[in-house]
Chains A and B, each alone.
Chain A
Amino acid sequence: GDSVTQMEGPVTLSEEAFLTINCTYTATGYPSLFWYVQYPGEGLQLLLKATKADDKGSNKGFEATYRKETTSFHLEKGSVQVSDSAVYFCALMDSSYKLIFGSGTRLLVRP
Protein backbone atom coordinates (compact mmCIF):
# COMPACT_ATOMS: atom_id res chain seq x y z
CA GLY A 1 0.00 0.00 0.00
CA ASP A 2 0.88 3.66 -0.12
CA SER A 3 3.29 4.92 2.51
CA VAL A 4 5.33 7.94 3.62
CA THR A 5 8.78 7.87 5.19
CA GLN A 6 10.32 10.90 6.83
CA MET A 7 13.54 11.47 8.68
CA GLU A 8 13.56 10.74 12.35
CA GLY A 9 13.99 13.51 14.84
CA PRO A 10 14.51 15.37 16.83
CA VAL A 11 16.21 17.91 14.63
CA THR A 12 17.92 20.57 16.71
CA LEU A 13 19.03 23.81 15.06
CA SER A 14 20.18 27.23 16.09
CA GLU A 15 18.04 30.21 15.13
CA GLU A 16 18.61 31.37 11.52
CA ALA A 17 20.01 27.99 10.46
CA PHE A 18 18.88 26.26 7.26
CA LEU A 19 16.31 23.50 7.65
CA THR A 20 15.75 20.38 5.60
CA ILE A 21 13.38 17.60 6.63
CA ASN A 22 13.44 14.69 4.22
CA CYS A 23 10.27 12.96 3.04
CA THR A 24 9.88 10.17 0.51
CA TYR A 25 6.76 8.34 -0.52
CA THR A 26 5.56 5.12 -2.14
CA ALA A 27 2.31 5.31 -4.06
CA THR A 28 0.49 4.16 -7.13
CA GLY A 29 -0.15 7.04 -9.45
CA TYR A 30 0.64 10.63 -8.55
CA PRO A 31 -0.89 11.57 -5.22
CA SER A 32 -1.19 15.06 -3.80
CA LEU A 33 1.49 15.72 -1.18
CA PHE A 34 1.24 17.74 2.03
CA TRP A 35 3.22 19.05 4.96
CA TYR A 36 1.35 19.52 8.22
CA VAL A 37 2.70 21.17 11.38
CA GLN A 38 1.65 20.46 14.95
CA TYR A 39 2.54 23.05 17.57
CA PRO A 40 2.50 21.99 21.23
CA GLY A 41 -1.03 21.56 22.51
CA GLU A 42 -2.61 22.35 19.14
CA GLY A 43 -4.13 20.41 16.27
CA LEU A 44 -2.43 19.73 12.96
CA GLN A 45 -2.33 22.65 10.56
CA LEU A 46 -1.74 22.45 6.85
CA LEU A 47 1.59 24.12 6.10
CA LEU A 48 1.80 23.62 2.34
CA LYS A 49 0.83 21.25 -0.43
CA ALA A 50 1.59 20.26 -4.02
CA THR A 51 -0.79 18.46 -6.32
CA LYS A 52 1.37 17.46 -9.28
CA ALA A 53 4.95 16.78 -10.28
CA ASP A 54 7.35 19.76 -10.16
CA ASP A 55 4.85 21.86 -8.21
CA LYS A 56 6.37 23.87 -5.39
CA GLY A 57 4.32 24.48 -2.29
CA SER A 58 5.30 27.39 -0.08
CA ASN A 59 4.06 29.11 3.07
CA LYS A 60 5.61 31.11 5.93
CA GLY A 61 9.07 30.77 4.40
CA PHE A 62 8.80 26.99 4.08
CA GLU A 63 9.05 25.32 0.68
CA ALA A 64 8.75 21.82 -0.73
CA THR A 65 8.94 20.61 -4.33
CA TYR A 66 7.10 17.55 -5.65
CA ARG A 67 9.84 15.39 -7.21
CA LYS A 68 8.34 12.51 -9.15
CA GLU A 69 11.69 11.08 -10.24
CA THR A 70 12.91 10.67 -6.66
CA THR A 71 9.43 10.28 -5.08
CA SER A 72 10.34 12.97 -2.60
CA PHE A 73 8.83 16.08 -1.04
CA HIS A 74 11.53 17.51 1.22
CA LEU A 75 10.66 20.47 3.44
CA GLU A 76 13.09 23.40 3.51
CA LYS A 77 13.39 26.78 5.16
CA GLY A 78 16.26 29.17 4.74
CA SER A 79 16.30 30.65 8.24
CA VAL A 80 14.41 29.03 11.10
CA GLN A 81 13.04 30.83 14.12
CA VAL A 82 12.39 29.66 17.66
CA SER A 83 8.66 29.85 16.87
CA ASP A 84 9.12 27.15 14.21
CA SER A 85 9.70 24.56 16.93
CA ALA A 86 7.01 21.94 16.36
CA VAL A 87 6.40 18.49 14.92
CA TYR A 88 6.22 18.32 11.12
CA PHE A 89 4.30 15.61 9.27
CA CYS A 90 4.61 14.71 5.62
CA ALA A 91 1.51 13.14 4.07
CA LEU A 92 0.01 11.97 0.81
CA MET A 93 -3.60 11.66 -0.27
CA ASP A 94 -4.30 8.28 -1.78
CA SER A 95 -6.78 7.41 -4.50
CA SER A 96 -9.60 7.03 -1.97
CA TYR A 97 -8.95 10.55 -0.57
CA LYS A 98 -7.36 9.20 2.59
CA LEU A 99 -4.42 11.07 4.09
CA ILE A 100 -1.47 8.80 4.85
CA PHE A 101 1.03 10.38 7.23
CA GLY A 102 4.66 9.83 8.01
CA SER A 103 5.68 9.37 11.63
CA GLY A 104 6.57 13.03 12.15
CA THR A 105 9.81 14.93 12.75
CA ARG A 106 10.25 17.07 15.83
CA LEU A 107 12.10 20.34 15.23
CA LEU A 108 13.68 22.23 18.11
CA VAL A 109 15.12 25.65 17.38
CA ARG A 110 17.37 27.18 20.02
CA PRO A 111 17.92 30.93 20.39
Chain B
Amino acid sequence: EAGVVQSPRYKIIEKKQPVAFWCNPISGHNTLYWYLQNLGQGPELLIRYENEEAVDDSQLPKDRFSAERLKGVDSTLKIQPAELGDSAVYLCASSLDASGKNNEQFFGPGTRLTVL
Protein backbone atom coordinates (compact mmCIF):
# COMPACT_ATOMS: atom_id res chain seq x y z
CA GLU B 1 0.00 0.00 0.00
CA ALA B 2 1.33 3.42 -0.93
CA GLY B 3 2.12 5.82 1.87
CA VAL B 4 1.46 9.53 2.02
CA VAL B 5 2.74 11.18 -1.14
CA GLN B 6 3.97 14.75 -1.27
CA SER B 7 5.29 16.87 -4.08
CA PRO B 8 7.51 18.53 -4.81
CA ARG B 9 10.21 17.18 -2.49
CA TYR B 10 12.24 20.36 -2.78
CA LYS B 11 11.36 23.89 -3.81
CA ILE B 12 13.50 27.00 -4.06
CA ILE B 13 11.83 30.34 -4.67
CA GLU B 14 12.53 34.01 -4.22
CA LYS B 15 10.74 35.95 -1.52
CA LYS B 16 7.37 37.43 -2.42
CA GLN B 17 6.73 34.60 -4.90
CA PRO B 18 3.81 32.19 -4.42
CA VAL B 19 4.35 28.48 -3.78
CA ALA B 20 2.09 25.46 -3.46
CA PHE B 21 2.55 22.01 -1.97
CA TRP B 22 0.49 18.95 -2.79
CA CYS B 23 -0.39 15.95 -0.64
CA ASN B 24 -2.09 12.67 -1.44
CA PRO B 25 -3.02 10.81 1.76
CA ILE B 26 -3.26 7.08 2.27
CA SER B 27 -6.37 5.71 0.59
CA GLY B 28 -9.33 5.66 2.95
CA HIS B 29 -7.85 8.05 5.48
CA ASN B 30 -10.42 10.65 6.45
CA THR B 31 -8.14 12.93 8.44
CA LEU B 32 -5.35 14.95 6.86
CA TYR B 33 -2.80 17.17 8.61
CA TRP B 34 -0.31 19.77 7.48
CA TYR B 35 2.68 20.40 9.75
CA LEU B 36 5.53 22.89 9.64
CA GLN B 37 8.96 21.69 10.74
CA ASN B 38 11.66 24.29 11.27
CA LEU B 39 15.29 23.20 11.30
CA GLY B 40 16.17 21.49 14.56
CA GLN B 41 12.58 21.54 15.82
CA GLY B 42 9.67 19.17 16.02
CA PRO B 43 6.71 19.50 13.66
CA GLU B 44 3.95 21.98 14.52
CA LEU B 45 0.40 21.55 13.30
CA LEU B 46 -0.85 24.09 10.78
CA ILE B 47 -4.23 22.65 9.88
CA ARG B 48 -6.29 19.49 10.26
CA TYR B 49 -9.01 18.29 7.90
CA GLU B 50 -11.81 15.87 8.60
CA ASN B 51 -12.79 14.87 5.08
CA GLU B 52 -13.11 18.21 3.29
CA GLU B 53 -13.73 20.30 6.40
CA ALA B 54 -10.94 22.22 8.13
CA VAL B 55 -11.63 21.49 11.81
CA ASP B 56 -8.49 23.02 13.32
CA ASP B 57 -6.72 25.86 11.50
CA SER B 58 -5.90 27.93 14.55
CA GLN B 59 -2.14 27.76 13.85
CA LEU B 60 -2.38 28.65 10.15
CA PRO B 61 -1.17 32.20 9.39
CA LYS B 62 -4.17 33.17 7.35
CA ASP B 63 -2.74 36.37 5.97
CA ARG B 64 -0.44 34.45 3.63
CA PHE B 65 -1.24 30.75 4.01
CA SER B 66 -4.23 28.92 2.60
CA ALA B 67 -5.17 25.29 2.23
CA GLU B 68 -7.86 23.25 0.61
CA ARG B 69 -8.94 19.64 0.46
CA LEU B 70 -11.40 19.34 -2.37
CA LYS B 71 -13.45 16.15 -2.44
CA GLY B 72 -11.89 15.13 0.85
CA VAL B 73 -8.87 13.40 -0.67
CA ASP B 74 -5.88 15.36 -2.00
CA SER B 75 -4.86 18.60 -0.38
CA THR B 76 -2.85 21.65 -1.33
CA LEU B 77 -1.14 24.16 0.93
CA LYS B 78 -0.29 27.55 -0.54
CA ILE B 79 1.85 30.45 0.58
CA GLN B 80 1.42 33.83 -1.08
CA PRO B 81 3.63 35.75 -0.84
CA ALA B 82 6.48 33.72 0.63
CA GLU B 83 8.83 35.30 3.17
CA LEU B 84 12.37 34.35 4.15
CA GLY B 85 11.10 32.94 7.45
CA ASP B 86 8.91 30.42 5.63
CA SER B 87 11.96 28.32 4.78
CA ALA B 88 11.22 24.99 6.45
CA VAL B 89 9.96 21.48 5.77
CA TYR B 90 6.22 21.14 5.22
CA LEU B 91 4.91 17.75 6.26
CA CYS B 92 1.63 16.12 5.39
CA ALA B 93 0.16 13.30 7.45
CA SER B 94 -3.04 11.28 7.40
CA SER B 95 -4.96 8.98 9.69
CA LEU B 96 -8.13 6.90 9.43
CA ASP B 97 -9.72 9.15 12.03
CA ALA B 98 -8.55 11.77 14.50
CA SER B 99 -9.75 10.06 17.64
CA GLY B 100 -9.97 6.60 19.12
CA LYS B 101 -7.90 3.62 18.08
CA ASN B 102 -7.54 4.72 14.45
CA ASN B 103 -5.68 7.93 15.14
CA GLU B 104 -2.15 6.83 14.22
CA GLN B 105 -0.74 9.49 11.94
CA PHE B 106 1.30 8.44 8.92
CA PHE B 107 3.68 11.06 7.59
CA GLY B 108 4.87 11.84 4.10
CA PRO B 109 8.53 12.66 3.32
CA GLY B 110 7.86 16.40 3.34
CA THR B 111 8.60 19.30 1.04
CA ARG B 112 11.71 21.28 1.85
CA LEU B 113 11.11 24.95 1.00
CA THR B 114 13.96 27.43 0.64
CA VAL B 115 13.05 31.09 0.24
CA LEU B 116 15.87 33.29 -1.08
Contact = CB atoms under 8 A, between A and B. Distances in A.
Given A91-B42, A104-B42, A46 B109 contact: no
B51 interface: no
Give the dominant DSSP class at A's interface: strand
A82 interface: no
Candidate in A43, A96, A103 with the most chain B CB atoms within 10 angstroms: A43
Interface residues of A, number: 20
B48 A44 contact: no
Category for how many chain B residues contact A = 20 to 34
Give the dominant DSSP class at B's interface: loop
Given A44-B91, A103-B42, A104-B41, A96 B56 contact: yes
A91 B103 CA distance: 14
Contacts, number: 46
A98 B41 contact: no
19 contacts: A36-B107, A41-B109, A42-B109, A43-B3, A43-B109, A43-B110, A44-B43, A45-B107, A46-B104, A46-B105, A97-B103, A98-B48, A99-B43, A99-B45, A99-B105, A101-B42, A101-B43, A103-B41, A103-B42
Interface of B: 3-4, 33, 40-45, 48, 56, 91, 93, 98-99, 103-110
